[in-house]
Structure 1
Amino acid sequence: MAKAVIINGSPTPGSRLTAVMAHSEQMLTNAGFEVERIDVSSLPAEDLIHTKFESESIVKANGLVAEADAVIVASPVYKASFTGVLKTFLDLIPQKGLAGKIVLPLFIGGSLAHLLSIDYSLKPVLSSMGARHILGGVYAVDAQVARTEQGGFDMDEVLVERLNAALDELVLETRYRAERNS
């Protein structure tokens, strides 16, 4: 069974990014993937800030990344880049910790003004960590994810189509790599 891990770089539980990640997790589960999630803001702040590689929480999170065939990196966009809390965790993943993995960036921001933040802020960091197969990613705008009165979310149909296409590509590439390596 293929394994995927979603690295949630949002400092805010219940943000609009939650809907995007939940949809992604459901699609991957339906495709037969075992899916885990790392909520970076739930990791001990002291471990992140002081780069405690040996911390039990960091070792466990890095183990999930190491075991994964596919990695989704999800973050809201603040000041034209991904969150600082996400960067602190990425700094704790071993230097080549993303080597051999299919990586899908998922970003959400207030406007299209930061559409290229995936390409200019995240992809160079992922490449420095050994990622060689980084998919194009999906950039969503806050307006594409509406909060419902029941406390849930409704995603715009166009966003759902783009997200489904990216996740289908992730599934196909992960399966292709597994078949090629077996």
Structure 2
Amino acid sequence: MTDHPRTAVVVGNPKPDSRTLAAATTLAAALAGREPDLVVDLALVAPRLLDWSDPEVSRLVAEVGAADLVVVASPTYKGAYTGLLKLFLDRFAGGTGLRGVAVPLMLGAGPRHALAPELTLRPLLTELGGTVPGRALYLLDTAYDDPAAYQPWLDATRPTVERLLAARVAA
């Protein structure tokens, strides 16, 4: 274990270099106090996700699973996360695939789907073994670059994340 938590970001937006990616890296940096160690933009490896023997995807799964903190982000599609993210998360063994703190983040066009990350992504991350430290975060996609949009969630959740990460680093 290093003297700082290993952080990862996984983004299930089918568009590379998306607003979802920007939001996820912003959130990870705010929680860890520095840029993430690993950023997985699934749009860049999408065809490889269908090949269960692909060594690069297997490496990414192992690194994400071992991260102390992982922000898992998706745009909201039909009230849920994307199929692209589902393909990646299917690689993780239930209950043991994620071993660190997992933060669900979803972006959407309006408040109608504000419960989507709490009802769809949060239970999945918990099932895969992640420790979800509080409510899932939903952001309007028009506010992804506004620091004020993150602040209420950070104020409520960051202290718990910091305690969990400090315990992991000390272990």
Match of 2:115 in 1: 116
Gaps of 5+ in 2: none
In the alignment, structure 1 segments of 5+ residues that lack a partner are 146-154
Using the TM superposition, give the Cα deviation of residue 25 of structure 1 relative to its aligned residue in structure 2, in angstroms.
4.1
Contact 1:138–1:162 under 8 Å retained in 2:
no
Structure 1 equivalent of residue 150 of structure 2: 160
Identify the residue that residue 5 of structure 2 maps to in structure 1.
2
Which residue does 2:165 correspond to in 1?
174
> What do the CA deviations read for 1:95-140 (whole angstroms, capped 9, x no partner)?
3211x31111111001111111112111222222122444312110
Aligned mates of 2:43, 2:72 — CA distance in 1: 14
TM-score (norm 2): 0.83
User: In the superposition, relative to structure 1, how do residues 162 and 132 fare at CA in structure 2: closer, same or farther (>3 Å)?
Assistant: same
3-state DSSP class of the match of 1:61? Answer: helix
- Structure 1 pair 174–58 and aligned structure 2 pair: CA distance change class (3 A): same
Corresponding position of 1:106 = 105
| Mapping of residues 1-182 of structure 1, within 5 Å | 1-28=4-31, 31=33, 35-45=37-47, 47-50=48-51, 52=52, 54-95=53-94, 96-98=96-98, 100-145=99-144, 155-162=145-152, 164-165=154-155, 166-167=157-158, 169-179=160-170, 182=171
User: Is residue 71–residue 103 contact of structure 1 (8 Å, CA) maintained in 2?
Assistant: yes
Higher strand share: 1
Residues 34 and 76 from structure 1, CA distance in 2 versus in 1: closer, same or farther, beyond 3 angstroms? closer
SS at match of 1:2: coil
Of 70-79 and 11-20, the range deviating more from structure 2? 11-20
Give the structure-1-normalised TM-score: 0.78
Q: Which is worse superposed, 158-167 or 101-110? A: 158-167
- Counterpart residue type for residue 162 of structure 2: V
Distance (whole Å) between structure 1 residues aligned to residue 31 and residue 147 of structure 2 = 19
SS at match of 1:81: coil
CA displacement 1:35-93 (0-9 Å, x = unmatched): 21111121151x3235x1x3111111012113211111011101000011000000012
The match for 1:149 is none
Q: Which amino acid aligns with 2:152?
A: R
Q: Which amino acid aligns with 1:41?
A: A
Report percent identity of matched pairs. Answer: 25
Q: Which one has the largest radius of gyration?
A: 1
Matched residues in 2 for 1:94 and 1:37: separation?
A: 21
Q: 1:103 touches 1:131 (CA, 8 Å); kept in 2?
A: yes
